Structure 1
């Protein structure tokens, strides 16, 4: 057992869908410097993609160090999933030196932080810091509120404003739980876009964590690890839209489903088709893998709104079925039949 005097530090990585959380994890793990790092990945939806991505990042990412908790947001399944997982990690003969926790893009961080006060966890693990990864271009265009200008003005007059838009609530809660904000994809912003993104972040609530601009979440792990925040001890300083509800929120604001994808002939044409479908049907996020005809490598496809990127991620394993799959995430009411027909036509 880990001595009480030496708590294992844990870093919570939060952020909206597609902001770059998994990319950040890959960078940190790849630069572990000999430290034993365990990773807990939580995804919203029935098909885990992020854990698969992490396992492909090299020798530092062995299966025993990555725990994937799919099909349930950690903020809603603390007792059933998170606490037993943490206890299993810290009870190992050689417990990790540091634990990284990637939350779902739809998760509220505060209920998860409260879980570090559970008896089996509190004396052995501390929240070293909460990192919020923000998609710079998305924040700059007000993707988290119906009218970001009006919301910012109202927030300035009434800091206790309760946002009606669930996306704004998620964004605000993630920012206000953070000890450090990474404004990612900063290379896609001009000066005006950068100012708009920062204004959206600052309008999210009263907390003012330091902000660092990143490109593809490239940052020295020494900047992220060792913050010593002990976030579990200052929850009152991390306001949430749902404090009055003890951190609860309804995930029926969002839904996800998985679409099987046949092999693609042209990655560029596939990305363009996905972008059109996302725009036509109001999809928030798509991510997954697909086989490309005559190519031995698996293609990773990721999109936020109608903005997509793709890259060959790893070779298909011997005997692995070359079956593509795509997770589609959006607000409740998605036209599943229409999306499925458009993607598989």
Structure 2
């Protein structure tokens, strides 16, 4: 009898512990959901404030230019800070404001500081002799919120009087850059003081493959999805430390990068020494997109994992705008969580100018660019994301123009 009572008591105790654990789990999930909702509202409020600080102008047909924002990202140890230090000390003729998210990551030579201008600089801002400035996002919250706080400060706060030509944002090594990109590409930011000009991902030529394609029986445990996401988001892939790898490793690396992001230009460097024009002007080139994609497909090298896919869609004939918009809307509704980045240049029926598409997740925009002129009219659209259905997308895009074709 006592043995049976003991068993019953043990079962009741186990059930009580399980119930407590279940209730704790549910409450923690509810708390996390509430914190996420509160954070999302804070971010929306800050974005709205940024939009309110847009330059006021009487002539809507000739608005003042917005300030370009270059986002520099890359995995730990890739050389981001080395590149940023070169930007700060460089002779590029631009007054660049650098916002870095790791306290103390940038070391400024005292001889480069403009002592006179520094006396009048806002707290936390370092002013250099070449007109560049550096500051750290130190406010509480996520990396995105720290960046928004700094942009707001330079729009309406103590630092609003500073004059600069461009902003460079350096993310932390483990950061997913997509939240910052997504905010800067929001439709509400059209006409705002700041616009996203390009995303530069610094790649560690020596160590990247061990992060995106680790070997060994427990290799999957060492896989770093952050590194893949940083590559997928890039307009320019700055392959750093090329002096530390041989030609065979370089071929494998460039092939893997091309398969992860065919839309990005690849630039090789040692010690992050690159011409400034490539960092500050990662222009979209529809012909280049197709050529880079084909080169990636024809190269022999290590294959990448199935997590991130890059699908390139091309069409020789003009695409009807209404059909394109309807297709993009369906794509967003069905796959926006998996769609990391979309970009391309399309020939629209009845339109003499290029139709440039860019976006991230559910935020996709299309704008008219320059005229085709003597350049052959064609459409190239690159989609980068998580396990995208390449064959289905190819067929759907082909139907838009009636004679599309794609390579993947």
TM-score computed with the length of structure 1 as normaliser: 0.55
- Count of matched residue pairs: 221
Q: Deviations over 1:261-301 (max 9, x none)?
A: xxxxxxxxxxxxxxxxxxxxxxxxxxxxxxxxxxxxxxxxx
CA distance in 1, matches of 2:71, 2:216: 27
Cα separation, partners in 2 of 1:6 and 1:102, compared to 1, 3 Å: same
Match of 2:126 in 1: 63
Could you say if the C-alpha distance between residues 49 and 119 of structure 1 is closer, same or farther in structure 2, counting changes exceeding 3 Å?
same
TM-score normalised according to structure 2 size: 0.47
| Structure-to-structure mapping, 1:88-103, within 5 angstroms | 88-91=153-156, 92-103=160-171
Residues of 2 paired with 1:227 and 1:181: CA distance?
A: 10
Matched, 1:210 2:335: no
Q: Cα distance, 1:34 vs. partner?
A: 4.0
Q: For 1:18, what is the secondary structure of its paired residue?
A: coil
Match of 1:133 among 202, 214, 218: 202
Mean CA deviation greater in 210-219 or 109-118:
109-118
> Are residue 16 (structure 1) and residue 75 (structure 2) matched?
yes
Mean CA deviation greater in 12-21 or 205-214: 205-214
Q: Distance in 1 between matches of 2:387 and 2:148?
A: 22
Q: CA deviation at 1:235?
A: 2.1
- Once the two structures are superposed, the pairs formed by residues 96-175 of structure 1 within 5 Å of their partners are 96-116=164-184, 117=186, 119=188, 123-140=192-209, 142-147=210-215, 167-175=223-231
Q: Which residue of structure 2 aligns with residue 27 of structure 1? A: 86
TM-superposed CA distance for 1:26, in Å, is: 1.3
Gaps of 5+ in 2: 1-53, 57-62, 119-124, 128-132, 285-341, 344-356, 362-381, 389-408
CA contact (8 A) 1:137 1:197 kept: no
Q: Are the counterparts in 1 of residues 81 and 105 from structure 2 also a CA contact under 8 Å? A: yes
Q: 1:8 to 1:172 in 2, by over 3 A?
A: same
Once the two structures are TM-superposed, the CA of residue 35 in structure 1 deviates from its matched residue by 2.2
In structure 1, which of residues 216, 224, 235 is the aligned counterpart of residue 279 of structure 2?
224
Larger-Rg structure: 2
Where in structure 1 are there 5+ consecutive unaligned residues? 152-163, 244-345
SS of the aligned residue for 1:95 comes to coil
Structural mapping, 1:193-342, within 5 Å: 193-203=249-259, 205-227=260-282, 233-236=358-361, 239-240=384-385
Residue 122 of structure 1 deviates from its aligned partner by 6.0
Q: Which has the higher contact order (CA 8 A, sep 6+)?
A: 1
Q: CA deviation at 1:201?
A: 2.1
Q: Deviations over 1:221-243 (max 9, x none)?
A: 12211335698942256645599
1:149–1:67: structure 2 CA closer, same or farther, 3 Å change rule? farther
More helix by share: 2
Counterparts of 1:173 and 1:235, CA distance in 2: 12
1:180 paired to 2:249 = no
Cα distance in 2 for residues equivalent to 1:54 and 1:167 = 34
Q: How big is each residue's C-alpha offset from its partner over 1:294-319, in whole Å with a ceiling of 9 and x where there is no partner?
A: xxxxxxxxxxxxxxxxxxxxxxxxxx
Whether the 8 Å CA contact 2:71–2:198 is kept in 1: the answer is yes
Instruction: Label 1:54 to 1:22 Cα distance change in 2 as closer, same or farther (>3 A).
Output: farther
Distance 1:54 1:150, change over 3 A: same
Q: Is the 8 A contact 1:139 1:200 kept in 2?
A: no
